[in-house]
Amino acid sequence: MRAFADLLDSLIYTRSRNAKLRHIAEYLKATPDPDRGWAMAALTGGLDLPAVKPALIRALIAERCDPVLFAISRDFVGDTAETVALLWPGPVRGDGSGTPLPLGEAVTRLASLGRAEAPAVLAAMLDRLDADERFALLKLATGALRVGVSARLAKTALAQAFGLDVDAVEEVWHGLAPPYAPLFDWAEGRGAQPTAEHLPVFRPFMLAHPLEEDRLSLDAYAAEWKWDGIRVQLVHVDGETRLYSRAGDDITASFPEVAQAFVTPGVLDGELLVKGEAQGAATLGEGGGAASFNALQQRLGRKTVPAKTLAEFPAFVRLYDILFDGAEDLREQPWTTRRARLEAFATALDPERFDVSALIEASDFAALENIRAGARSAAIEGVMLKRRDSPYVAGRRAGLWYKWKRDPLTADCVLMYAQRGSGKRSSFYSDYTFGAWGEEGALLPVGKAYFGFTDEELKWLDRFVRNHTLNRFGPVREVEKTLVLEVAFDSIHESKRHKSGLAMRFPRIARIRTDKPAAEAETLAGLRRLVT
């Protein structure tokens, strides 16, 4: 646990991507199996210890520390694991009083526990560790590392450490289970390269750069709509189907009707959507038929889906690309070839569950600009531009695919509440709830944002919150309703879960409007006119 704690410590205080890669690579080369495999599982979000929940950790510290002291400390620190690690009565770093606890031993033991056994076992482990190790164990157990490392970056570090191709690592990753012994055997020359030939594994998505050039030639690039759902990969191999999210998470159980309908061997890339109300169970066709992202949210995150939800929010996939046709790998083929193969492949699919994303017919880029400007469908996020001769390659490659999002909507809203952030922002009030004026002259919350501002603006906003506080509710402060924030958002939808009846999609702070009186801020009636 000591080495893993040192790794987390170095990653937390390192901003440089190359330095993070170096720290992870050095750890993987110096650490034996199975500890390094479990560390990779933690860094990539592949570790699940269901018996350890945040409530259990809070209950344990309440037995060893004054609950008021913990609450005050948690409010200031902004992170439960860090607060518990510091307050827990145990050995201090380096005094040698704790018995070493290997990472593999900790994970294996915690993974085998039931809810009844977990408190005593976890407490005994914490008693053996110093503060840094306790922090590492608690972060690992709850799955909330927050060290600025994506799954892709961790896999890149592994590839660089052992001279492997990162796409080859990604190709077999989801066919292996932690602690990834076959992967490290291959990396160190003790075993053959793992293969995904007969497994429904995840392949890395091809991603797009934001469009920053003024013009692209439509002779070289094809245009299609960028739909506002969630990117998914459909895989059917040897009679087994899997649906993967962009992060590589298996979401098959959340969308059983789609998985059951995809029974043709191959791998497809597309956008998961739900049908609009008017569309119902009708054939999708190449047109719209998709509801807003707000409707799709009713399906997200569910491990089991009730029949009522399946009927009210039927899912389908709008297909973008094809990676495999049967066992044939098409990723090296140009986009034009893959598009033709995709259209042919889709003819055998259930039209209730699958259609192909239509291309946008435009004579030139200026015409495409006009088409994009007029698109305000709830399900359209913008335009994709794909180079016609591009292969399907993992990650973002310059010059191949571009995303050209539609211009955001904006509204001037009034700051109502602020909450402390977490991690590096735990000392600042950085999460802002803002509202619009209702018909009876009251402010009602319409959204919450925690990005879009600079570091200097964050400091200014933090001072404003502290100097204009009306009430305190734990980590949340209610402020004087005098500050106007210009909020940018992608779309706005009706919502029964919010008191205002509205929910913004991707709100962010565009600027601070110190020049505008709060009384002149946006109204709910004005926002409702923007609902799509």
C-alpha distance from residue 250 to each of 173, 174, 334 (Å): 13, 9, 28
What are the b/e assignments for 34-48, b being 16+ CB within 10 Å? bbbbbbbbbbbbbbe
Residue 435 sits at φ, ψ, to 5 deg, of: -135, 175
As a whole number of angstroms, the distance between CA 23 and CA 26 comes to 5
As a whole number of angstroms, the distance between CA 395 and CA 95 comes to 46
As a whole number of angstroms, the distance between CA 353 and CA 257 comes to 8
What single string gives the DSSP state of each residue in 305-333? --HHHHHHS-EEEEEEEEEEETTEE-TTS
Active-site option among 226, 275, 386, 481: 226
In one-letter notation, the amino acid at residue 88 is W
Residue 433 sits at φ, ψ, to 5 deg, of: -100, 130
Quick check: is 226 catalytic?
Answer: yes
The helix/strand/coil state of 409 is strand
What burial class does residue 13 get, using C-beta atoms within 10 Å of its C-beta: 0-12 exposed, 13-18 middle, 19+ buried? exposed
269 bridge partner residues = 233, 321
Beta strand segments in 345-390, E: 354-356, 380-387
Nearest CA among 31, 10, 2 for reference residue 162: 31
- 347 sits in the region (left: phi over 0; alpha: psi -120 to 50; else beta) called alpha
CA 462 to chain centre: 27
What burial class does residue 365 get, using C-beta atoms within 10 Å of its C-beta: 0-12 exposed, 13-18 middle, 19+ buried? middle
- 496 sits in the region (left: phi over 0; alpha: psi -120 to 50; else beta) called alpha
Contact 174/243 with Cβ under 8 angstroms? no
Contact 449/512 with Cβ under 8 angstroms? no
In one-letter notation, the amino acid at residue 208 is A
What burial class does residue 444 get, using C-beta atoms within 10 Å of its C-beta: 0-12 exposed, 13-18 middle, 19+ buried? middle
Please state whether the peptide bond connecting residue 34 to the residue before it is cis, i.e. omega within 30 degrees of 0.
yes
- Write down the H helix ranges in 31-102: 35-43, 54-64, 67-77, 80-87
C-alpha distance from residue 426 to each of 173, 288, 451, 452, 462 (Å): 34, 43, 14, 17, 11
Catalytic positions, please?
Answer: 226
